[in-house]
Amino acid sequence: MVLDGDLKRLVVVVVAVGILLWMGFAGGISSLAQAQQRPTLYWGSSGEAVREVQNRLAQWDYYDGPISGVFGPQTSEAVRWFQRRNGLVVDGIVGPQTYAALGLPVRAGAAATPTATTGVARSDDMDLLTRVVSAEARGEPYVGQVAVAAVIMNRVQSPSFPNSISGVVYQSLAFESVADGQIWLTPSADANRAVRDALNGWDPSYGAVYFWNPYKPVNPWVWSRSIVTQIGRHVFAK
C-alpha cells in the first residue's frame, strides 16, 4: 500500500525521534559506565583517570605539571590545594566527593576500583606496604618510617623498578624482612599512619630509592649510591 504524504511524514518523524532517543540512551549508558569505572586515585596511581583529573586541575589553575597520567607529588599537592579551596577533606586522594567537585561524578554506590597499574589503591597493597614498613623500620623514629614508605613508592614510580607495590616488595633480595619472614608479623599502628602520610605526599627521604643500616653488613655496591640523608639508623640514597 502506498502511504499518503501525511502518513509518510509521520513515519519519518517517529523514526527520527526513535533514533534520537536511542542515541540519548546509549550516551547515558556510556556516561554511566565511565562514572562507574573511575577509580579512587592515590599517590602512585596511573592511567587515563589520572590524566583526566590532571586536565581538569590544569584548566582551573591548580596544576601546572605535565598531563602524564602519573599521580606523583605534584598531582597530590594540586589535589590537596583543590580540596582545601573547596571545603573537602584534605587527604590528597581523589574519591567520589573530589570527583564530584571536579565535575567528574562517580555514580553513588559504584565501587571505586583501581586501575591495573595503580601502585597503592588496593587494600591488599596498603596492607603489604604497612607490613614491610613495620618490619623494616620497627623502632625507628616516626619520620624514618614515613621515609621507608616513601622509598617504596619512589621505586614504584622509577622505571628502574617494578611499577607496583607488590612487585617492589617481592623483588628478589630487595628487603631483608621478606626473606626472613618478619613482614608477616602484626604491623604497628605507627607504620599504618606512616604509610598514609607517605601516600599523601610526605617524602622525608627526598626522593631516595634506597635505604640501609650502615652499621650492618650490606652489599658494597650500595655505597656507590648518593646518600641524601640519614634518619635514625637508616641512610637514604638515590
Alpha carbon separation from 176 to 102, 192, 238 (Å, rounded): 43, 20, 19
Identify the pLDDT of residue 30. 41
Question: Which residues are CB-neighbours of 3 under 8 A, at least 6 positions away?
Answer: 11
Whether the Cβ atoms of residue 114 and residue 94 lie closer than 8 Å to each other: no
Identify the pLDDT of residue 73. 80
Residues 231 and 34: their CA atoms lie apart, in Å, by 44
The residue ranges of every structural domain in the chain are: 39-108, 123-237
Tell me the β-bridge partners of 70. 46
The pLDDT profile of the chain, 238 residues, written as one tens digit per residue, is 445 666 556 555 555 545 545 554 444 444 334 444 678 887 778 889 999 999 999 998 899 999 999 888 889 889 988 888 888 888 788 888 888 888 887 654 443 333 333 344 456 788 889 999 999 999 999 999 999 999 999 999 999 998 888 889 988 889 999 888 899 899 999 999 999 999 888 999 999 999 999 999 888 999 999 999 999 999 999 9
Identify the pLDDT of residue 199. 87
State in words which class domain 123-237 has.
Answer: mainly alpha
Strands 210-212 and 227-231: unpaired
Whether the Cβ atoms of residue 120 and residue 168 lie closer than 8 Å to each other: no
Whether the Cβ atoms of residue 198 and residue 144 lie closer than 8 Å to each other: no
Superfamily designation of domain 39-108: PGBD-like superfamily/PGBD (1.10.101.10)
Whether the Cβ atoms of residue 73 and residue 203 lie closer than 8 Å to each other: yes
Identify the pLDDT of residue 122. 55
User: How many Cβ atoms are within 10 Å of 134's Cβ, its own excluded?
Assistant: 24
Coil, helix or strand at residue 236: strand
Four-CA torsion 134, 145, 237, 204, nearest 10 degrees: 160
State the alpha helices, DSSP H only, in the chain: 5-37, 48-59, 73-85, 96-101, 123-137, 142-157, 165-169, 176-179, 189-199
